[in-house]
Structure 1
Amino acid sequence: MKKVRLSILFGILSALGIYFIAESTLSNLLPENTDLTLPTVLLTGQTFLMVTILSILGLNMLPKTGLRLYQASSNGTVWIKAALAGVGVGFFIQALDALYFADRLEAMNGYQPESSLSAMLGGVLYGGVGEEVLIRLFLMTLIVWMVTKLKRGAAPSNMVYIVAILISSLVFAIGHLPANLNFFGELSTMVVFRALLLNGVGGILFGWLYWKHGLVLAIFAHMIAHISMHLIFIPILF
């Protein structure tokens, strides 16, 4: 029951995150003046169910993978390093957008990222919790679990974890392509490169934290990345 309760908590937090960004997300996808009440309810409900179910599956696979929710031996230094890693990801994303991609993508001329409390909460809750559950707890764990099954229960090697991190990070980055298509109106080489680079680097770092220190540290670092972007780097760089 603990796994179910934790998964429901993950689902609720992720659904709340989607709720905070639903208006801005749906208004870009639906015709103007569309009543967003029903689409918002459907989107948040879908998110809750998806995250909850995949969390339960991921938690049930964990014991056979060598991965964990939290490493009890993690000390304050590890938390500080995870926070700094999150800040680094936040800076990397916003700095590249402001100093590199803004000059190379016409749609980013005069680009001003949305920076509001609702946008930050959406990023912290859906990005920090929902994406980590979907990509790390479920997908990355599934890859390691499948290899373990194929090897008849043998302990996964470091290479298995590295490959799982890279594959899940690639899927995470590719998952952002529809949003990029909606924003840029095309998937040019530069647009795809931007999506893969900005999302892939964070995915690799969060995957490494999951492997070495547990899901909680990956969630924490991902949350810090969004907080630092909204409170520090967007105001400074844009």
Structure 2
Amino acid sequence: MKKSDKVKLGLLLFTVGFLGVLSLLTMEIPIIEKLKTEMSDVFTPFQFKLLILINPTILLIIFTVIGTSLYSKTGFKLPVFEYLTRKDKLRINYKEIVKFGIAGGIVSGSLLSFISWIFSSNIPDALKNFSPNIFNRFFYGGITEEILMRFGLMTLFVWLLQMIFKRKDQWTYWSGILLSSLLFGIGHLPIVNGLVTDPSSSLILYIVLGNSLGGIIFGWLYWKRGLESAMIAHIVTHIIFLITGV
């Protein structure tokens, strides 16, 4: 892929990812009451929301650059995004991308809904009542998080492992999937800490386990079918959540 095409690819991914970041403006940011009181003396609620956008925007820039630089070296694909940005067009099997994305989303959504049911007695009401709107779920969850965690972080892990061990086999891909999925699960804990003053170990296990399992499915799809399939699966997962009330 030519350098100019990669620049276009990176800009396109950042643009669609930033739409997800902007969707955070439409949700209530969970922060503990003490912090909320302290911040109210300095910032208005809307100004505080704008500040919240800084961190994910910086991460989006960093991981978009990392992913764009390394994804082709590790063998990952972005069929649709590549088609939109490269001069030499490649044939795309849209049916496979959509089919695996929907199937992966159904499996992920059903599995995580079942896990939520198992841990339901350990989930505080504050967390049960916290429900991101459809824009947050689809744009930030389904698109931005996949650019950050799969395209950026997972690609980086796989590239590092392949460089260190001088091998490009299933072990390096699965290790990248598991590492990025674990961090994906841990990355959801700050929201929990903002809603629950003293989260229990069972609640922490539920958050990390549930999101990590979803990350494994999305990571496998990114590896085997491309980033777009992982995005579709993530969005379908949230559709299942809306149906099951998770």
Q: Please give the TM-score of this superposition, normalised by the length of structure 1.
A: 0.83
Give the secondary structure class of the aligned counterpart of 2:36.
Answer: coil
Which residue of structure 2 aligns with residue 25 of structure 1? 30
Aligned with 2:150 (options 136, 155, 158): 136
> Displaced runs of 4+ in structure 1, greater than 3 A?
24-29, 71-75, 108-113
Shift of 1:32: 9.0
CA distance in 2 between partners of 1:160 and 1:74 (Å) = 26
Kept in 1, the 8 Å contact 2:31–2:195? The answer is no
CA distance in 2 between partners of 1:15 and 1:182 (Å) = 19
Question: What is the correspondence of 1:99-118 to structure 2 with a 5 Å cutoff?
Answer: 99-103=117-121, 105=122, 107-108=124-125, 111-114=128-131
CA distance in 1 between partners of 2:150 and 2:186 (Å) = 15
CA distance in 1 between partners of 2:14 and 2:181 (Å) = 24
**1:158 to 2:158 alignment:** no
**1:96 to 2:110 alignment:** no
Question: What is the correspondence of 1:1-238 to structure 2 with a 5 Å cutoff?
Answer: 1-21=7-27, 23-25=28-30, 30-31=36-37, 34=40, 35-70=44-79, 73-97=92-116, 99-103=117-121, 105=122, 107-108=124-125, 111-114=128-131, 119-151=133-165, 154=167, 156-230=168-242, 232-234=243-245
Q: Does the C-alpha gap of structure 1 residues 41 and 33 become closer, same or farther in structure 2, counting only changes over 3 Å?
A: closer
CA distance in 1 between partners of 2:14 and 2:97 (Å) = 27
Where does structure 1 lack aligned partners over 5 or more consecutive residues? Answer: none
Q: Among the aligned pairs, what percent are the same residue?
A: 28
CA distance in 1 between partners of 2:123 and 2:180 (Å) = 30
Shift of 1:25: 3.2
Q: Does the C-alpha gap of structure 1 residues 226 and 27 become closer, same or farther in structure 2, counting only changes over 3 Å?
A: farther
Shift of 1:171: 0.7
**C-alpha root-mean-square deviation of aligned residues, in Å?**
2.7
Kept in 2, the 8 Å contact 1:11–1:52? The answer is no
Shift of 1:69: 1.5
Shift of 1:37: 1.4
Which residue of structure 1 aligns with residue 85 of structure 2? none
Kept in 2, the 8 Å contact 1:64–1:148? The answer is no
Where does structure 2 lack aligned partners over 5 or more consecutive residues? Answer: 1-6, 81-90
Select between 189-198 and 162-171 the one with higher mean Cα deviation. Answer: 189-198
Name the amino acid aligned to 1:210: Y
Q: Please give the TM-score of this superposition, normalised by the length of structure 2.
A: 0.80
Kept in 2, the 8 Å contact 1:3–1:59? The answer is yes
